[in-house]
A = this chain, B = another copy of it.
């Protein structure tokens, strides 16, 4: 294993230290317990947004802390849920009195620990709503989840719910917008290579030289099936088919198309996938109105990508376009 790390046990701590130094104007970093908050949190009158999950998916979630997106991010160990004793103080730190929304990817550990933290926060008088993200069409149940996993759609839920909170929506309204995004987004991924968790020291799984895994999760957990390597257009077709079917994409639909790199794939390849995805959507009669292409929710150095399609309406489009100022996503400011 060759990684630019010092001690596998210190990876998360040193990452957030570096992150805090690089973005000192944007965020505050708590090191014990570890969580990252927006510099000006709590923002008076605003609903607080907290997300988190295992580390190794950077820039998710710390990269999305800032104006118009998250108020706090809570990173666990690599590919391991954060604990309630991190989530609770992050929740309290961003509560201005308007309540807090937890955005949780549907993995058993995350769900459990955010639930516990929400109960503890409620006991301290903070109203908490939870938006569960479960956009992955690859599998119904998996090694890590009951029900669908939460993957690429999480980034879109965080951006759009964040914009709703920023414009002053109340607690129920922010949660409702987040749930509406989740209901209208589907994702499917592919892995060309495995990734290596630092404290494990060896790849999470093996793929043969000419083999890829369709329906991969963001921890390298198994997907639908392994197939022989195909070209980018064929892979794109395979990923989009179940996404469009599940979303019931119809002629006239307007969508946001999100091609996400898993961490180790060149940006050029993501644009090649994007190009084909636009064609497939056009064939289905849908128009790509907004797009996002890059490494936004990763699995360490895994090679591969995921494709997310979000059906847009005027309000979701307006909230997507709203100004955002975070380390990893920024426009309008």
Q: Are B271's CB and A15's CB within 8 A?
A: yes
**With A and B bound together, what is the CA distance between A63 and B268 in angstroms?**
11
A17-25, A105-113, A122-130, A134-142: which lies at the interface: A17-25
CB < 8 Å neighbour of A264 from B58, B63, B301: B301
Q: Are A18's CB and B273's CB within 8 A?
A: yes
Q: Report B-chain residues with C-beta under 8 Å of the C-beta of A56.
A: 266, 268
Q: Report B-chain residues with C-beta under 8 Å of the C-beta of A265.
A: 4, 301
Q: Is A83 an interface residue (CB 8 A)?
A: no
Smallest beta-carbon distance A170→chain B, Å: 30
**With A and B bound together, what is the CA distance between A2 and B19 in angstroms?**
32
**With A and B bound together, what is the CA distance between A5 and B59 in angstroms?**
25
CB < 8 Å neighbour of A232 from B5, B209, B300: B5
Q: Is A156 an interface residue (CB 8 A)?
A: no
Q: Report B-chain residues with C-beta under 8 Å of the C-beta of A268.
A: 11, 15, 55-56, 58, 300
| Number of chain copies forming the complex | 2
Q: Report B-chain residues with C-beta under 8 Å of the C-beta of A304.
A: 4
Q: Are B232's CB and A303's CB within 8 A?
A: no
Supposing A14-B275, A272-B18 touch, asked if A231 and B6 sit within 8 A by C-beta, the answer is yes
CB < 8 Å neighbour of A274 from B2, B18, B59, B331: B18
Q: Report B-chain residues with C-beta under 8 Å of the C-beta of A209.
A: 2
CB < 8 Å neighbour of A272 from B14, B235, B271, B330: B14
Which residues 1-34 in A have Cβ within 8 Å of B in the complex?
Answer: 2-7, 11, 14-19, 21-22
Q: Is A270 an interface residue (CB 8 A)?
A: yes
Q: Report B-chain residues with C-beta under 8 Å of the C-beta of A246.
A: none
Question: Most chain-B Cβ atoms within 10 A of its Cβ — which of A209, A232, A233, A295?
Answer: A232
Q: CB-CB contacts of A192-218 with B at 8 A, as 1s and 0s?
A: 110000000000000001101000000
Q: Is A267 an interface residue (CB 8 A)?
A: yes
**With A and B bound together, what is the CA distance between A268 and B204 in angstroms?**
18
Smallest beta-carbon distance A320→chain B, Å: 14
Q: Is A133 an interface residue (CB 8 A)?
A: no
Q: Report B-chain residues with C-beta under 8 Å of the C-beta of A55.
A: 268
Q: Are B266's CB and A2's CB within 8 A?
A: no
Q: Report B-chain residues with C-beta under 8 Å of the C-beta of A58.
A: 266-268, 271
Which residues 36-78 in A have Cβ within 8 Å of B in the complex?
Answer: 55-56, 58-59, 63
CB < 8 Å neighbour of A267 from B235, B271, B291, B295: B295
- Between A and B, 22 residue pairs with Cβ closer than 8 Å are A2-B193, A2-B212, A3-B192, A3-B232, A4-B192, A4-B235, A4-B270, A4-B272, A5-B231, A6-B232, A6-B272, A14-B275, A16-B271, A18-B271, A18-B293, A21-B274, A21-B291, A58-B268, A263-B267, A266-B301, A330-B330, A332-B333
